[in-house]
Amino acid sequence: MAKVKRSFLEKLTGSRRIETEDFSEEKESFIQPINNIYEEEETEMILNSSPKKNMQIQQEENLLSADNSEGQLTIDVYQTDNDIVIKSTIAGVKPEDLDVSINNDMVSIRGERKNEEQVHEENYYYQECYWGNFSRSVILPVDVLAEKAEASMKNGILTIRLPKADNTKTKKIQVRGF
Q: Would you place residue 33 in the very low, low, confident or very high pLDDT band (cuts 50, 70, 90)?
A: low
d(CA 31, CA 26): 9
How far out from the chain centre does Cα 64 lie? 16
- State the pLDDT confidence band at 169, using cuts at 50, 70 and 90: low
Under a CB-based contact definition with an 8 Å cutoff, are residues 88 and 74 in contact? yes
Q: Which fold has domain 71-163?
A: Immunoglobulin-like (2.60.40)
pLDDT at 41 over 70: no
Residue 173 — pLDDT band, cuts 50, 70, 90? confident
Mean pLDDT for the stretch of residues 75-98: 91
Spatial separation of the C-alpha atoms in residues 123 and 59, rounded to whole Å: 12
Per residue in 105-146, pLDDT (tens digit) is 899 999 988 888 888 888 888 888 888 888 999 999 888 999
In the three-class reduction of DSSP (H, G, I as helix; E, B as strand; rest coil), residue 44 is classed as helix
Q: What is the mean pLDDT of the chain?
A: 75
* pLDDT > 90: percent of the chain: 24
Average pLDDT of the segment spanning 44-60: 50
**Best-predicted range by mean pLDDT among 28-32, 88-92, 126-130?**
88-92
Q: Are 133 and 70 in contact (CB under 8 A)?
A: yes
Output the pLDDT for position 152: 93
For residues 113 and 131, is the Cβ–Cβ distance under 8 A?
Answer: yes
pLDDT of residue 63: 46
